[in-house]
Amino acid sequence: MEKVRFGIVGTGRISDWVLAGAVEDPRFEAVAVCSRKEETAQLFARKHGIRLCFTDVEAMAACPEVDAVYIGTPNHTHADIAVRCLAKGKPVLCEKPFASSAFEARQMVQAAREQGLLLMEAMISTLNPNFLKAKEMLSQIGPLRSYTSHFCQYSSKYAKLQEAIAEGNPAKLAPVFNPLCSGGSLLDIGIYTIYPMVVLLGKPERIDSCLQTVGVPSGDPRFACVDVQGTAQFAYPGLSASVRFSKVADSFLPTEIAGEGGNLLLDKMHICRKLTFVPHGAPQSGRGEDMPGEDITCPPFKDEYTAEFTHFIDLFLAGEKESPVNSLDASVAVMEILDEIRQQAGVRYPSDRF
Ligand SMILES: NC(=O)c1ccc[n+]([C@@H]2O[C@H](COP(=O)([O-])OP(=O)(O)OC[C@H]3O[C@@H](n4cnc5c(N)ncnc54)[C@H](OP(=O)(O)O)[C@@H]3O)[C@@H](O)[C@H]2O)c1
């Protein structure tokens, strides 16, 4: 069996999580890790049985023993690292959000196309079997009328954000809440409601959004606020979509795709573990009975992160340059939407060109 030998950039929690899923695909092999510190690289390498350690991403990408690179570092570093790895001739699987902005996303796409190399955003939600089944079923419930999605998760890093604000201490500001690292709820978890919407429906005609922001001590007064939750409405022809995301409150509401012929309910948009189909019943008003739902959940992967590596490895071995699901157009379109929402709220990052 042909193995695909990966180099991993970043030794944080997400790299641990994705490796646990990736190794479930027997074609996956982690051969190298790149960290900002040699010591951290060594620790991570020992933990995961990785042979090669680097502190320079270009040196890792140039290594002939590395076939492809996975990027699991903070948002503001994705574009730079991806472009440098592509320039060294290596395909890239890059964590979500693809980049800080559409400007950066286009630079990444251009680099991949110029080099003729595979590039894909590691958006787990749209490679989930239940999401793919829901996508296949859209014609059965059409014409579509609404898409409503939520991802609200009280952040384990919120207490530290409050401390950073109270003390005015930039050192306590985690990248996920730091505008200098392209942080905030929209790019961190709002994207899980918006990316699937774009894969299902394309780009909306109009966006009306509202981000709740807080002032943060980033150390740079030009970038001193970050969003902690938000909502957005999207207009499509004959269809409206709305999303809600939060890092300061939880939500247990499912995602719902509604058509004139029935509804699809996904229990969680981030990682859907239960898919329900509710066929449209007789037209009714007032106090009519609800139609019973049918559980049409797909058998789960042993580990949910396996899907993105299996998909990427399939594409790599087939010589493909992009995913038909997590396409480069989808990644750029999503970044354009995120840019627009940030512009409406005045949330800015250092790399912005708008
Ligand atoms: N798909 C998912 O389910 C999921 C879940 C969580 C996060 N994510 C995404 O994964 C990415 C990382 O998130 P995280 O929460 O793991 O971030 P993090 O803990 O802040 O950083 C991850 C790792 O990146 C490296 N790093 C930190 N700052 C850096 C910098 N300025 N330049 C270069 N490398 C740096 C560090 O590794 P070294 O010390 O080894 O350099 C760090 O451990 C984000 O883009 C996030 O959106 C995805």
Q: Report pLDDT for 143.
A: 96
Ligand 1, pocket-test mutation among 35, 73, 218, most atoms within 8 A of CB: 73
Q: Where are the chain's structural domains?
A: 4-124, 126-304
Q: What pLDDT shows up at residue 181?
A: 98
Q: Is the CB of 73 under 6 A from ligand 1?
A: yes
DSSP assigned state of 88: T
Q: Report how far ligand 1's centroid is from the alpha carbon of 278 (Å).
A: 39
Beta 52-54 vs 28-34: how paired, if at all?
Answer: parallel
As its CATH architecture, domain 4-124 has 3-Layer(aba) Sandwich (3.40)
Kindly state if the Cβ of 213 falls inside 6 Å of ligand 1.
no
Whole-number pLDDT of residue 257: 98
- Which CATH superfamily groups domain 126-304? Dihydrodipicolinate Reductase; domain 2 (3.30.360.10)
Helices (H) and strands (E) in the chain, counts: 12, 14
The burial class, CB within 10 Å (0-12 / 13-18 / 19+), for 264 is buried
Mean pLDDT by 10 residues, the chain (354 residues): 95 97 98 98 98 98 98 98 98 98 98 98 98 97 96 97 97 96 98 98 98 97 96 98 98 97 96 96 80 92 95 98 98 98 97 91
Rg (CA), the chain: 21
